[in-house]
């Protein structure tokens, strides 16, 4: 079996496609179940964020796996396969491991170095474990990805290369001013109470806003977030929760709005925003759109977020190789009365809000364009080195693990042979006392252990090297091991309830 990932992200697809391809939680669960039901896959995990949708699987056939996973992504996203295919990327075996480790370190994020992705990877693993779609390979892979990401953040200054999407968005709203000075004393409305909204609320509180109002469809979750904000020792922000039905009234009092919900439709329309500001949308001046060029997916010199995508041999499909043009509507002129940050995918806030006088809107698409100007950091190279080293170590560990059941089966067979011979000795020499019998048994076992020690240690070393998978087969053939015994050891390891959990 081999690791395969098929997906699309902000690097390979325009925001409009990502919005349409976004997967709700129940859809992700159905995708995982259908992937396991497909013939080529035995394990599956899905990593779905506002910037990426990736399906990981352990498959026995590469081409059949690519075709099946691509088809399943199209079916569950609702975007036709022919339309989706040009934006898909494919990574296989070590390249797939390299990709996930890079993602975990923030190298593949829209804002390089952001740490929010670690929580999303953890959620993806938990979902796969809960649905029993993540087996030994994906448990090991995602657990190691989390460790690699934490190592990158603790051993390097990758955090200095960028910030979380929330912090970066607030910087864009501040338009060059110090976010703390810009936001100080303002009133903020946070729509949603999930992980990203909670991060936004906490960031706003640290930035110095005077009040945070949380609106969520489930009032209990909004109340819980407010409770957490009020318990913070490092902030003195006022916080309260409201029903979603009160959002219209709260808009008339808010200075900053951050929205990140799982809604498939708009949460804030342009008309609702115009009403809150007391202006007429149709009469608002519309500035011409400005066209910006985002870096090509493989142009690492322009920005670290567009990291190396791997060789052509590792990808069956690749995104457009030429620079992708991103249309960013120009902001209305005049003083800003309402600053909007839309972190949802698909978007929560109507893009036509750009046309409303007194409104500044920053969304995923404009963040993608702005992040192209973020500085490269020397720490990015250090993180890439960590990723490369960890990929090599993970591959070696997986190859060594592949031979381990064979070694266990060999030692089990040897123990059975020793037990059989000792039983035969008891029949031939029934007068042996216990001390003599124990000494003979120990001697035979030592002889067998010494004979097996060198080949078993060496086969583990050889198996950990690239191309070493065949040594397990050779060992089984040389010692005429029962394949069923080896398979039984593998199943016992796979079903260990303590495996893959931290």
For the residues of 172-230, what is the DSSP string, one character each? Answer: HHHTTS-HHHHHTT-EEEEE--SHHHHHHHHHHHHHT-SEEEEE-SSHHHHHHHHHHHH
- Quick one: which H or E segment has residue 104? helix 94-104
331 pLDDT more than 80? no
CA angle at 201 for the pair 199 and 202, rounded to the nearest 5°? 65
**What percent of the chain shows pLDDT beyond 70?**
79
> Of all residues in the chain, what percent carry a pLDDT higher than 90?
41
The predicted-structure confidence for 22-80, as pLDDT tens digits, reads as follows 898 899 999 999 999 987 899 999 999 888 999 999 998 899 999 999 999 999 998 99
Active-site residue, selected from the candidate residues 50, 53, 349, 377? 50
Q: Report the distance separating Cα 344 and Cα 219, nearest Å.
A: 19
The DSSP secondary-structure symbol of 97 reads H
Q: Which is higher by pLDDT, 19 or 309? A: 19
- Model confidence at 311: pLDDT above 80: no
> For the chain, first and last CA: distance in Å?
25
Q: Nearest-CA neighbor of 135 among 58, 190, 206, 63?
A: 58
pLDDT at residue 299 is higher than 60? no
Nearest CA to 374 among 213, 168, 235?
168
Q: pLDDT tens across 481-491, in order? A: 776 655 555 55
Q: Higher model confidence: residue 309 or residue 13?
A: 13
In tens, the pLDDT along 339-365 reads: 999 988 888 999 999 889 899 999 888
Residue with the bigger pLDDT between 466 and 477: it is 477
Q: Global pTM?
A: 0.63
96 — pLDDT class (breaks 50, 70, 90): very high
pLDDT at 464: 65
For the four alpha carbons of 53, 67, 43 and 309, in that order, the dihedral sign comes to negative
Within a 10 A sphere around the Cβ of 153, how many other Cβ atoms?
18
50 is an active site residue: yes
What is the rounded CA–CA span in Å between residue 267 and residue 113? Answer: 29
Check whether 502 has a pLDDT greater than 50: no
Closest CA to 125 of 154, 100, 105: 100
Q: Edge to edge, what strands does the sheet with 187-191 contain? A: 238-242, 211-215, 187-191, 256-259, 338-342, 359-362
Question: Residue 125 pLDDT more than 90?
Answer: yes
């Amino acid at each position: 079996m081999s690791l395969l990932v098929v997906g699309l992200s902000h690097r390979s697809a325009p925001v409009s496609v990502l919005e349409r391809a976004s997967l709700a939680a129940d859809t992700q669960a159905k995708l995982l179940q259908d992937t396991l039901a497909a013939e080529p896959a035995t394990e599956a995990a899905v990593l779905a964020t506002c910037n990426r949708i990736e399906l990981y699987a352990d498959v026995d056939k590469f081409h059949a796996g690519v075709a099946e996973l691509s088809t399943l992504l199209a079916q569950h996203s609702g975007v036709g396969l022919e339309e989706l295919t040009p934006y898909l990327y494919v990574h296989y075996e070590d390249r797939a491991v390299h990709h996930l480790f890079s993602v975990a370190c923030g190298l593949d994020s829209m804002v390089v170095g952001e740490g929010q992705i670690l929580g999303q990877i953890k959620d993806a693993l938990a979902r796969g474990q809960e649905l029993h779609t993540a087996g030994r390979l994906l448990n090991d892979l995602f657990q190691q990805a989390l460790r690699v990401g934490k190592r990158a953040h603790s051993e390097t200054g990758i955090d200095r290369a960028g910030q979380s999407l929330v912090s970066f968005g607030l910087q864009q709203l501040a338009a060059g001013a110090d976010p703390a000075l810009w936001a100080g004393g303002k009133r903020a409305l946070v729509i949603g109470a999930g992980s990203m909204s909670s991060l936004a609320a906490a960031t706003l509180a640290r930035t110095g806003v005077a009040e945070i109002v949380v609106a969520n469809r489930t009032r209990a979750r909004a109340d819980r977030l407010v409770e957490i904000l009020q318990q913070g020792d490092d902030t003195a922000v006022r916080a309260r929760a409201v029903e979603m039905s009160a959002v219209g009234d709260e808009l008339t009092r808010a200075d900053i709005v951050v929205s990140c919900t799982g809604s498939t439709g708009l949460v804030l329309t342009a008309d609702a925003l115009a009403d809150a500001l007391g202006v007429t949308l149709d009469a608002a001046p519309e500035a011409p759109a400005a066209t910006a060029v985002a870096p090509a997916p493989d142009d690492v010199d322009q920005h670290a977020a567009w990291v190396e995508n791997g060789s052509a041999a590792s990808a069956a499909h690749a995104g457009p190789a030429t620079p992708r043009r991103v249309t960013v509507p120009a902001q209305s002129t005049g003083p800003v009365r309402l600053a909007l940050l839309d972190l949802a995918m698909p978007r929560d806030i109507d893009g036509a809000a750009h046309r409303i006088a007194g409104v500044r809107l920053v969304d995923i698409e404009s963040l993608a364009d702005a992040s192209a100007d973020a500085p490269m950091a020397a720490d990015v190279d250090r993180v890439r080195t960590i990723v490369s080293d960890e990929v090599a170590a993970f591959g070696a560990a997986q190859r060594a693990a592949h031979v381990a059941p064979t070694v266990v089966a060999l030692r089990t067979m040897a123990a059975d042979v020793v037990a059989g011979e000792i039983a035969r000795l008891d029949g031939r020499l029934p007068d042996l006392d216990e001390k003599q019998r124990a000494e003979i048994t120990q001697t035979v076992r030592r002889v067998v252990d010494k004979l097996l020690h060198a080949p078993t240690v060496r086969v583990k070393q050889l198996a950990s090297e690239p191309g070493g998978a065949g040594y397990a087969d050779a060992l089984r053939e040389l010692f005429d091991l029962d394949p069923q015994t080896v398979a039984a050891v593998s199943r016992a390891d796979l079903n260990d309830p303590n495996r893959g959990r931290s």
